[in-house]
Structure 1
Amino acid sequence: MNPHLVRILAATLTVCMASVGHAEMASDGQSAVGEVSLVLGRAYLEPESGRRQLLTPGTPVHASDRIVTESNGHVHIRFVDQALVSVRPDSRLYIVEYRFDPADPGQSSIKLNLQEGVTRSISGQGASAARDRFRLNTPIAAIGVRGTDFVVSATRDSVRALVNEGAIVLAPFSSDCTADSFGPCVVNAVELAGNSMQIAEMDGNAGMPQLLAGTLDREPDMMQSEVQAAIADSQGDVEEKTAGTDVVLENVTSRRVQADVAGMTAPRDTPPAPPVVTPVDFTPAQPVTVATVTERQLIWGRWAGGLGDLERITLAYADSRPDRDITVGNSQYVLFRDGNGVTKVQEGLGPISFSLTSAQAFHSSESGSITAMAVNGGTLDINFVNNQFSTQLNLNHSATGDMVFSAAGNLFEGGYFHSRSATERIAGAVSLDGKEAGYFFEKQLESGGIQGLTLWDRNN
């Protein structure tokens, strides 16, 4: 062979091998952090440097990639720590950082940015082991987790979130809560638990998020319809949905997500699950107003601003004070009673049982954050013959689980009752005719504490 030609071929081969070696190094230099497990409709991967590519099952996903779905697109991503993320139609999810070491999960660093749309995140080993190093950012607020399965819907100026399991902490961006930090923020934050049947919502005009009652029933039949709708969307039959509805539908209907988590598809002949009985929460979905409490004899007032949007059964002091007398209270709240200065309770009253009408309760963490608790029921019995009372409340919070607050003690002249111990305090009053009652309560826990207000009506 011509020596000159040999030299040319050798040089060409050297260049080709160098190019291949460089490509392998580039690929090896940033290992995949996950893999696409499901694609319905049209969805794309946008790497930090490189061409947009159509997503297919098995596509590797790297940190700094963006997942973009069209109006009929739906994507599931399985990450290296077994986390699962579902990206719904018309969404943009940016994988900012995903560091996970199976040998030391507690040193994980995970940050996602939902730029718009709806996503569902089911925590893996990384977020579970390093909750202070997980963050999901939206355009206006940050979300930290307490080991969870949650859904977020985001636009440029609003965000909604709900929780299937565990809890999240939602907080607006501020000097104390920046987008480049990790973990939950505590300033102006609200905590939302999966058993609260509420939605955390915030818009750009609000100073802090608020908790709203979930507006859609969690019907088992909706689970199958969501998969059918997603498949129909992938074939061009696109159904327009609002962001608010999407966040609820993703929560209650994603059977395929649940199947992916379990690593298997449920058999077709699997009998339907029995309906879930949801506990009643006696905390009103919206704050009371002067007009809604005009017929009540007992009204809770607050000395100052209280807890802002978390207040549900209190009025401002000026609104609750007119023509009513102060009964019991603490540094934050006071219970007003109709009476025109009269303090003597109607004579001839005997044992009376009361039904819970409304309540609000809060959990205070050691870090100082205050979040709403669910009040699922309770009992109050007052015996006007022997001047005794007893009560219990059924409460729930992600930090405490189900818990019962109970107290008993004496009824005093004027219709007042109270009890105090080293860790608990309760004080209340009855209306002069014995038809209504109310009390505030406080309980110190090993970690943090709880406090709340109640209103009751006579059963008979």
Structure 2
Amino acid sequence: MSALLMCAAHTAQAADAGKIIFVAGSAQVGDSSAREGGAVQEGQMLSTGGDGFIYVKTVDNGLFILRPNTKARIVTYHIDQKNPANTRIKLELLSGVARSKSGEAVKLARQNFRFNTPVAAIGVRGTDFTVFTDDDTSRVAVISGGVVVSGFSGACRPDGAGPCEGEASRELSAAQRGQLVQVQRGQAAQVLQSSPLSPDQVSPPRRDEPLAKGGAGSSPAQSASVEAMKNAGLNSVIEKLVSSPPAPPSVPAPDKPAPAKEEPEPVVNMPAPVIETPSTLPERVAVWGRWQPIGGSYGKLNLSEERQNKELLGMAGYFALLRSSGKDYVAPNNGTVGFGLRDSEAVVTTEYGYGNNVAEHATLSNGSLMVDFGKRTFQTGMDVNTSTDVVRVSADGTVTNDGRLYGNAAEGRHRIMNVQGLLTNERGGTATTIFDGRLDEKRTVSGGATWR
């Protein structure tokens, strides 16, 4: 009986957090399809497909927008109008891109607002902002107001409330035009210049998404409804044009003599014209891996098979880098972006002389990759962990317009790497590199890495 009463009490506490004012494409609330006018309760999972959008108007007239391929939920939306100090509001973005515009209650109790991602805590200064996140990286851009962003470490925990402020946090305001805050798992937040990986670039807003400042005076619901009516009207006009019967043939005036009857021209059956419609090309992706065996360990990359449908960009020791066909990557003209090491493999070869070389596996750690699109340059570095020691290696080089990375020639210098790499739009922005170089007089290293 006690357990039943506790469950009933918990259910009663799941209050409405907002109402859906617009839905497009594939979108769900919990296990049901999202519908305009439907309520969103605390704790309910909101999700969108590749073409889906959800606009939620919170109970204090705020706005929570999910763009395509996004999962989020309003964890808590408890408002105490008489005593704002008791207000508790928490939003959570699990993956994708979302926008949060503070409502009246948030503006009165900013110290009790929290927006969580898998790697970061976001607090507000009375704000309108957008967020991109995956499991390892979050990026925040501000439309109006300001935010304070911190990675989860020390006293900043996912189950906490309010903003995390301290040495590891970073603040960003709308006055810092073109900048964003990035947090990578296990690392401190950092402010970056304008980036092709900003939330609006990864998942652009709809044309009917409400502006930062409602100068026109229309509500988000009105904007969405007007756009929907425009589309419906256009579709009806097209339908009428297609379904209308053909116009009757013109009849010559009776006072004019009928034209002389001409012999019909021979009918020639011509093939119907072929109308080619441009196909939507997929984004190009990079593929790398070890293609040569080490002892009894075979490489995961079948080079001959991969080369049948991919372009070989380069080889470095035991490793190769390829690129799939598809839409070309176009590097932006300015901004910087930092990447963290996500997946890697390395091989260290020791030369004992007289052709006696021994190769062994090594691991990479503490990696960093910084790309400056304005200067068209990059810098990278990482630790090579061997069975006996740890060696720090580094490289720098150039970035081409199509996202290729070329490291400056190491020329045999110790701990300087030759690098070949590629930038792609995969997962909101990914870099892939292969490298080789000399650690010391007897040892060389080669490897590959994925960066996000």
Taking structure 2 as the reference length, the TM-score comes to: 0.44
1 or 2, which has the higher helix percentage?
1
Taking structure 1 as the reference length, the TM-score comes to: 0.43
